[in-house]
């Protein structure tokens, strides 16, 4: 996927759900993975011509693995002239050594979210951006049905009254396959995830399940995604362009 196509999809999502307002200061969660680097790249180039000016700050929560080298991400942020903050934590020790969690992802996500939000507020940000994409919406819907007995998925925008922050997800119209292609085409500096449960989670199982469904029923993911956009979820904002 070319940059122009990525920017078109990101802008469509931003306009449809009013994700960015004038003079927003947006903290972008950068894990070092392909999704977050594509998001950071898209927002960097979008702000050059988007009619509502906004600022960007990149933030990585380092959960404490010693072999997690973030220098390539630092260099990339320097290249884009985006301020970059690394938050060093002991989350890995707490989750894997002290608590020995059977489901480490839940606690890890909660602790990372807290550290990230605190830093975003310290930087004066009013919004935070996560790199969830179209496939994540579909997979979350399936996880909600399979594991919770609910019909729900992640929202394009969520207002958190307690912190005053607003969470936005500008990649919701972008497919994972296109993110992979973009990262390879533009050689974005992906840092390997050192987490021992990476690719071994329930989310990865559901991701493989939906891929298999799409292979056996071509176009099924497109139809599921249209169903999500046409559904009514209590925590979703209204879509401007239907």
Distances (CA, A) of 27 to 20, 75, 86, 98: 12, 18, 12, 30
Place of tokens 């950068």: 30
Tell me if 139 sits within 8 A of 151, measured CB to CB.
no
pLDDT tens digits, 91-114: 878 887 777 766 777 788 888 899
Mean pLDDT of 202-228: 94
Q: What is the DSSP letter of 233?
A: -
Q: What is the DSSP letter of 52?
A: S
Position 150 scores a pLDDT of 93
Position 124 scores a pLDDT of 96
Distances (CA, A) of 215 to 84, 100, 209, 223: 40, 37, 10, 14
- Token reading at 52: 């509502």
Percent of the chain with pLDDT over 70: 98
- Token reading at 191: 């840092």
Position 197 scores a pLDDT of 73
pLDDT tens digits, 129-187: 999 999 999 999 999 999 999 999 999 999 988 889 999 999 999 999 999 999 999 99
pLDDT tens digits, 17-32: 999 999 999 999 999 9
* CATH architecture, domain defined by 3-230: 3-Layer(aba) Sandwich (3.40)
> Which of 1-10, 47-56, 218-227, 233-242 is the least confident region?
233-242
Query: pTM to 2 decimals?
Result: 0.93
How deeply is 193 buried, as exposed, middle or buried, from its count of CB atoms within 10 A (0-12, 13-18, 19+)? Answer: middle
Position 137 scores a pLDDT of 96
Place of tokens 């600022």: 55
Mean pLDDT of 14-19: 96
| Residue spans per domain, the chain | 3-230
More confident residue, 241 or 42: 42
């Amino acid at each position: 996927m070319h940059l122009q196509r990525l920017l078109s999809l990101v802008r469509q999502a931003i306009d449809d759900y009013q994700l960015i307002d004038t003079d927003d200061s947006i903290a972008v969660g950068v894990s070092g993975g392909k999704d977050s680097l594509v998001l950071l790249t898209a927002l960097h180039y979008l702000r050059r011509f988007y009619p509502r000016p906004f600022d960007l700050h990149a933030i990585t929560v380092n959960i404490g693995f010693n072999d997690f080298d973030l220098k390539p991400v630092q260099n990339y942020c320097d290249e884009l002239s985006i301020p970059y903050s690394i938050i060093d934590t002991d989350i890995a020790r707490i989750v894997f050594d002290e608590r020995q969690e059977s489901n480490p992802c839940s606690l890890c996500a909660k602790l990372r979210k807290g550290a990230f939000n605190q830093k975003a507020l310290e930087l004066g940000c009013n919004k935070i951006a996560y790199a969830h994409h179209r496939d994540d919406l579909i997979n979350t819907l399936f996880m909600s049905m399979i594991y919770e007995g609910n019909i729900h998925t992640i929202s394009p925008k969520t207002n958190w009254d307690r912190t005053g922050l607003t969470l936005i997800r500008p990649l919701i119209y972008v497919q994972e396959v296109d993110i992979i292609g973009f990262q390879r085409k533009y050689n974005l500096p992906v840092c390997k995830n050192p987490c021992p449960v990476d690719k071994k989670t329930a989310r990865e199982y559901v991701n493989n399940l939906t891929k298999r469904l799409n292979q056996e029923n071509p176009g099924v993911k497109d139809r599921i995604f249209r169903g999500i956009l046409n559904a009514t979820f209590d925590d979703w904002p209204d879509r401007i362009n239907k």
